[in-house]
Structure 1
Amino acid sequence: MAPVADPVSSLEVHASAGAARSDVLMVSSDSEEEAMIPLAVRLKQKQLGLGTAAINAEETRASNVVSNGCSRLLEVPSYHINPEAQPIERNKICSNITRQCSSNNNAPYLSKEPPPENGTYLAKCKKTPAEVEAARQETLRKRAMREHQQEEKERLRMEKKALADAVKALRPEECIKHMVVTVDPGLLQLEGGGALLTSLHAMGCSCAIEKQSLPRSVTWARHSPCPQTGEMMSIPDSNTVIQVPVDDFVTMINNYSKRQCNGVLMESGISLTTWIQGHMSRNPSRTLSLVVIDIDKYFRSQNSKCQKKYREAVLGEEKNVGLQGAQKKRRKKDDINQLPEVSRVQVEEALVDLQLQTGVQVRFLSTWKDFTDYITMSTKAVAEAPFKREREKTGFTFCLESEWAGGQKVDRTGNGLLQVWKRQIQQLNRVSPDMASAILSAYPSPRLLAQAYARCKSDHEKVGLLADILIRRGEGVASTTRRVGPELSKRLFLLMMSCDAHQPLDSAV
């Protein structure tokens, strides 16, 4: 490494030798064999006290660009060269030269980093194994934290998506698609089993045929996304419909009647209430309801038998002795398959006891088609029940939220104004939708009705203006017609033309 020359001594030497060029000073190194170091670098090393061991890189970089650096001639005033004219101020000379060199924008060798406080560049310290392990553990901890945050963000996103899907699945137009109706195989073996499955598939819900703990029953379940995983899970519903055969129903009613009369229940018999209580104890989470199909057929057969016996007793038909023995055998055979006789009063008493003891209700249907319609209606009600419960929770008790109280939407083109006028007429007491539709067909807007009142010549004509409008009910052969009548006509006249805001509509004109 070449020693760093004193910049001031170099200036003095060149000042004495270059008398021909009194205003220009050529700066160079003392030894031509040594590497050329720019003056700006040397001045900076001198001012800041940089060690020679720390500036090797700077010297190498400076030597590559010396032709474009500060090796050019520096303009120095003449009084700096002539010591007799004025004393040389070393600080001013150094600052002037440094300023001229630093003005060169193409000097990449000028370092902008501040030097260390002690004046020497310290070598990079090697980390100990403990520090390396600590750094590695810190890196692993940060990586685990980032992964945990990413997983938490993904979990929250999945929960929001599952919640949105669950809310969407509760809407009336979507809830049927997420319902699963489970039918007991014993119910499908009866007369209307095939029609039941066809109707359920037509609704758009799913059907499952599984053995149920309750015989001949229909249960429901709802597919809903899991908030944590997003997977679809099955949520069973508590409602259960049980189809009870007429034979079993009549037998249990008869057993209840015997217990009420004698106070003792037969060992082999069980009443309807006891039968339901047994099922409820084994299925405590179920809400049961019973369906009996075509019980009127049983009562019709009982009436025909009673009439036949009464006719035989009145006519006094006698058979010969040989035929009497054959009739006794036939009667014994019929008694085996014959149902006990119960009256409608006994059935009602048993149903009252059932409702008081268990809260279970019984629905009587005429045909299997009615049973199919009842199951489809129950499926729709079960599917829409959560949505209706949530709607009731979000509303206020004093605010009516229904289709009637929700208002009528009217767009810019006027669509909906006809329904607004119809609802305004229906606000009157004892005005049905048919009456409002009849008045609406004659006067589609309040202005037309007001103009019709203005054309009337007397108040009597105004009061009876709407009385003769026909109201049609039904369609086809069964349709009927009636008039609006003078009472409603008078109330509408007072509503439209009265100037007294406190006048009752039922008062006289």
Structure 2
Amino acid sequence: MSTVDNPTIWEISDSDTEIEEDPGDLQLEDRSNTIPAKNALPPPPSYDYELPCPPKKRRSKEEIEADKEKVRLRKEAREKIRAVKEQEKQEKKKETQRRKEAAQHINNLKPENYLKCLTLCIDPALLQQQGSDILLETLSSNELQYSIKKQSFPNSITWTRDLTQLAEDVEATDVEDQLVQVLGPSEFLDMVISVKKVIDNEEEEPVLDYSTVKKVTVLVTESQTNSRKRGHASGDTIQSKYGGKDLDVEEVLVYLQLYKNTSVVFLEGWQDVTDHVCAVTKALSKRPFKLLTEQAELPFCVDGSWASGARVEKDGTGLKQVWTRQIQQLNRVSQVVASCVTAAYPSPQLLLQAYEALSSEEDKKKLLADLMVKGEGKDRRVGPEISTRIYRCLTTHNPELVLD
């Protein structure tokens, strides 16, 4: 049996046995005597000195120059991109302005707008004739511009166009190539006598020389009905003037038409003259727009659903289709025949080399004649006619040559 020597006796006071119901209300007055918790971390140590920074590496002069060069290159690249964008912007702006001006120009050439640019220039002597007031009243009612000033030819009417209304940067007027001269029977007969003497080599030039005008129309008023139907003045009047015949008048009219580009029209009175002048004015107003619409970029293309052409890609796709359609433009060459030729010779250069390999002209013309064209029914040959036309089209140096 073991014994315990000097046992220690612990005394527990009443205050030690008290248990607080709310541990959160416990306040420690003396923190120095407080026992730290089991898992509590000690506070971080404090240092009175700073950690030394690693020393900076000094760059060499070459590295500094290389960095400057990189900065300069990047700046130049940015400037270049900025310049390209600015150039594209300016080109786009110019293209927009060009299209706007082209659209405005086309709009100005329309008959209803171009008519406002035309001005009729009337010789004052013409207004002294009886019935000429019909002309001025009609021009005013149709809102046609006219001016009264002396002309190079007496009793004539010319047309001028104001270029300022067609283009803002142009301040000038141009003269149209038309001239209308109104003559009475006696004046016309004087002209006939003068021209007849020129034809008979009795004089060098007639009194009225129209060589400075491109197109002249002489309006003869107050002519007899039967004479107007035949297109010349009265034979009795001509005979009374110089003893001539109706055949002489016909000769004069033909001479004026062929050598002077002058037409003679016989009218009854000023109403017919006014109608003719208004018709010429309207024709002049329609001519610019008509000429513009008749212009074609590819006038040799035939009409059809594919008249717009074939698309050719950057890799060359579509060239064979263009080659086929080029042959198909010839008269009486169908798409099947053209495809047969291009299948045998996929490019014009190959066909030209085949022509050069032949010695005689006859063999070259018949090179494509025996090619078989496969149709829905019976197969047939290309034939010597089409073969000859294709050969002429590709080898001739004469632009006026008729292929058929």
Tell me the TM-score normalised to structure 1 length: 0.38
Structure with more of its chain in helix, by fraction: 1
Tell me the TM-score normalised to structure 2 length: 0.47
